[in-house]
């Protein structure tokens, strides 16, 4: 405060007093409390870093590649999230033949020495590093660390899951959409109720046709009866 007053006096300005002095003092304290500079957005870490020894799971999935009219089997190494492994442990059908617990460092380095021998010929999946980081973060949650890490301990492997090839995973599958597929899809996602309205209209038309046919038959029978009466009276 005294320094601020002396600075004002040097400039030929009278030092403030009363409430004005209080405002000057408050401004000096606020300026002193502010940091010299604020960190940029690039300096702020949005997510906590994953340690190299963090636990995660890799699985070996039985996939297929389409080559002409035939399917060729391909083994693929993929990271598993905590919820995915929990589903496998609960008996869900899966294309994973085996899973293993590894460290985040070994997974990111694609260290085959840390994997079971059966993983030796398997290919690493696309976007492997990105998927490793995403899967590893799911293992940082308290539920995963307290309840799921014993499903396959670090350094161990497990393969007694509900393995199934009923729904084959085809890596290079091309989805070719035909006109008939578009029609089926249009009917299945008809949020405006067009199909329901059309069905109702068709039902109404059918009922009207039946009624009209019954009326016509009744009128024909009545006409024939009238004609017969006319002949008898003639």
The set of residues, in sequence order, having a beta carbon less than 8 Å from that of 124 and lying 6+ positions away, is 76, 77, 110
Nearest to 74 by CA among 212, 213, 170: 170
User: Residue 42 — pLDDT band, cuts 50, 70, 90?
Assistant: very low
Distances (CA, A) of 142 to 138, 139, 178: 9, 8, 47
90-100 pLDDT, tens per residue? 999 999 999 99
Distance CA 157, CA 117 (A): 10
pTM of structure: 0.57
Tell me the β-bridge partners of 71.
66
Convert the pLDDT of each residue in 15-29 to its tens digit: 555 555 554 455 555
CA proximity to 62, closest of 52, 71, 49: 71
């Amino acid at each position: 405060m005294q320094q601020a007053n002396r600075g004002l006096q040097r400039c030929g300005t009278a030092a403030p007093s009363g409430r004005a002095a209080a405002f000057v003092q408050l401004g000096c304290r606020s300026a002193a409390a502010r940091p010299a500079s604020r960190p940029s957005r690039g300096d702020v870490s949005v997510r906590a870093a994953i340690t190299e020894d963090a636990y995660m799971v890799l699985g070996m999935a039985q996939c297929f590649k389409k080559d002409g009219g035939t399917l060729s089997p391909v083994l693929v190494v993929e990271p598993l999230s905590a919820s995915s492994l929990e589903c496998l442990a609960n008996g869900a059908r899966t294309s994973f033949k085996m899973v293993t617990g590894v460290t985040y460092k070994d997974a990111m380095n694609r260290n085959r020495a840390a994997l079971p021998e059966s993983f030796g010929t398997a290919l690493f999946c696309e976007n492997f590093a990105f998927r490793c980081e995403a899967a590893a973060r799911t293992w940082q949650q308290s539920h995963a660390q307290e309840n799921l890490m014993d499903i396959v301990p670090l350094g161990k492997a497990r393969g007694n899951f509900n393995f199934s090839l009923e729904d084959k995973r085809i890596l290079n599958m091309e989805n070719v959409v035909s006109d008939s597929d578009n029609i089926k899809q249009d009917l299945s996602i008809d949020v405006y109720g067009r199909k329901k309205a059309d069905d109702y209209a068709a039902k109404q038309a059918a009922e009207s046709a039946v009624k009209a046919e019954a009326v016509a038959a009744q009128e024909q029978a009545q006409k024939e009866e009238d004609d017969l009466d006319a002949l008898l009276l003639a």
